[in-house]
Structure 1
Amino acid sequence: MARDFPPLHLLKSPLVYVLAQAVFSPVLRMDRFVPEIQERMRRSGYVGFIQDQRQQLVFTPEPSIQPFTRWIFSNRENTQAVVLSQNFVVLETSRYDRFETFVEDLWVAFSTIAKVAEPALVERLGLRYIDVIAPGPGESFSDYLRPALLGLSAEELGAANLATQYEATGSTDAGQLVLRLSQPVDETLLPADLFSSQLRFSTPSLKPGTYTILDVDNFVTGQFDFVAEPLLDRFWQLHRYADRAFRNSVTEKALQIWQAQPVPTTA
């Protein structure tokens, strides 16, 4: 699919985490298909395997917390994983190259699930990027982020340990776009709803208040057949707007600091 801009290769990229998710109509006996899925994923380089028990809040006439199982297939370095449950599949990575490569990996996951478990309908697709922006000595957030995202500073308010948040939402031709900016009060790298990720991260530890999380979340709801190729086309559409959101959130100086290098689309 055509890009609006050539892909950016950032030698000092702030990107720490990327997630693509498909929520589908439940396959209640998914556990029967896991051995075959695991064998196929193992042959595709996902040699690690964990069966993980979690709890989730179920919204029924009487909301309750119920257990559910996740099956996690990870690469040797534990920097990329496919997470499967009865009603969703996720591809997550902490070593992102560019979207063309990510889509190839997404095709492996989706085509495997489609062939083995045969889910019927996809109800939601989501694509999410998490960047950690940490100014160096003598730098400030204004060197990295556009003025519209900065808000008031702790110095301006005379406050200590100021935690700021920004959120913008809007509809696009591809779905719903949500852009969030937050300054954690602890040393977390991911938003709270992503804490369950078990990937290995290479980002050094950072002190609270010295970095900001830029969270670009783009999703679409509906009813789509669980067929890999058309679903990947929709992910390309989501990526187009996620890419725009990032480029319009950061400054030209930030791209220089991160050593941005345009990459031809034919490369």
Structure 2
Amino acid sequence: MGTPLKSPPVYFTVVQARFNTLLKLGDYLASIQEGMRKAGFPDFTSRKMVTLQLAAQEVQVTPPNVVNLEQFLFGNAHKTHMFVLNPDALTLQSTRYGQFEDFSAQFLEGLALVDKVVQLDFTDRVGLRYLDHVAPRPNDRLDLYVVPEVRGLGARLGGKTVHAFSETFSHLGDIQLRSRVLIQDGGLAFPPDLAADGMQIDDRFLEYSGHHATLDTDGFIERRMPFSASAVGEQLNAIHGVISAAFKAAVTEYAFKVWDEV
């Protein structure tokens, strides 16, 4: 277990396992909710969502299929960790990440709880995603914190860079990695496909407004496997190693020094 930074830049973390679809998930909900409550997630709510599924044929494109989806949310009392249960996936999202070992163990505990109630058959995707807010200290430049490869062409073009975006998609064995870096002015923001869901964000991230970088690092494995919580844990360990390397490649040694001083 590595030594955590004193002031890490991560403000949102998501881990997810997709599994065989449970059309009768509602029948098991009471047992799952009671297990989550005893595990420290008593804040329960549900929400209904409408999604569109697109299916293309060789000759013509069929109209979108409207799908009604109900999600079940189990949060802790401090609103810093939340499980989101879909008919085909369990997600844990956090605004107080801590260390990978503790975070992944908590997720695996929740996944084992669901399996105990419904008896899962297989998983076909396991993923881990981090959002990091890289903001320079007063009188520092952002260039001191992120490497040239992700800064865009602003330095070469001159003037004031309003917006820069970098994305790299890689295959590293079974792991697929999408690493995005967004540089802009303003306050803390989330990508369009993620939301805080009323969770408590650390004040130090909310109070900052100015030139900053958002690192969005998403690693996942898409492979169908018979359900095994330990196998999911092994996949998460491998993904975490790749994401950690990508994060270290995007930021500077100076940034790590600052994050370990504050």
Instruction: Tell me if both proteins adopt one fold, taking TM over 0.5 as the criterion.
Output: yes
What TM-score do the two structures reach when normalised by structure 2? 0.90
- Deviations 1:119-161 (CA, angstroms, capped at 9, x unpaired): 322121110011001112211121111121112227934356x
Q: Secondary structure at the match of 2:219?
A: strand
**Map of 2:58 onto structure 1:** none
Q: What is the Cα deviation at residue 186 of structure 1?
A: 5.7
Q: Secondary structure at the match of 1:181?
A: strand
Query: Match for 1:22 among 17, 32, 41?
Result: 17
Q: What is the Cα deviation at residue 185 of structure 1?
A: 6.2
Gaps of at least 5 residues in structure 1 are 1-5, 262-267
What TM-score do the two structures reach when normalised by structure 1? 0.89
Q: What is the Cα deviation at residue 39 of structure 1?
A: 0.3
Structure 1 CA distance, aligned partners of 2:196 and 2:8? 23
Structure 1 CA distance, aligned partners of 2:145 and 2:95? 21
Native 8 Å contact 2:175 2:239 kept in 1? yes
Q: How does 1:1-267 map to 2 (within 5 A)?
A: 7-60=2-55, 61-153=62-154, 156-159=157-160, 162-184=162-184, 187-195=187-195, 197-202=197-202, 203-207=205-209, 210-259=211-260
Q: Secondary structure at the match of 1:108?
A: helix
Native 8 Å contact 2:15 2:128 kept in 1? yes
Gaps of at least 5 residues in structure 2 are 56-61
Kindly report structure 1 stretches of 4+ aligned residues shifted beyond 6 Å.
none
Structure 2 CA distance, aligned partners of 1:28 and 1:154? 53
Structure 1 CA distance, aligned partners of 2:255 and 2:3? 13
The number of aligned residues is 254
Equivalent AA in structure 2 for residue 108 of structure 1: E
In structure 2, relative to structure 1, the CA distance for the partners of 1:237 and 1:59 (3 Å cut) is same
In structure 2, relative to structure 1, the CA distance for the partners of 1:213 and 1:8 (3 Å cut) is farther
Native 8 Å contact 1:114 1:227 kept in 2? no
Structure 2 CA distance, aligned partners of 1:70 and 1:185? 34
Equivalent AA in structure 1 for residue 194 of structure 2: L
Equivalent AA in structure 2 for residue 190 of structure 1: F
In structure 2, relative to structure 1, the CA distance for the partners of 1:237 and 1:12 (3 Å cut) is same
Native 8 Å contact 1:128 1:218 kept in 2? yes
Q: What is the Cα deviation at residue 166 of structure 1?
A: 0.2
- Deviations 1:201-231 (CA, angstroms, capped at 9, x unpaired): 1122333x52211011101111012221111
**Map of 2:59 onto structure 1:** none
Equivalent AA in structure 2 for residue 177 of structure 1: L
Structure 1 CA distance, aligned partners of 2:4 and 2:45? 32
Q: What is the Cα deviation at residue 260 of structure 1?
A: 6.8
Native 8 Å contact 2:150 2:165 kept in 1? no
Quote the sequence identity (%): 26
Structure 2 CA distance, aligned partners of 1:173 and 1:141? 33
CA RMSD of aligned residues (A): 2.0
Structure 2 CA distance, aligned partners of 1:42 and 1:254? 39
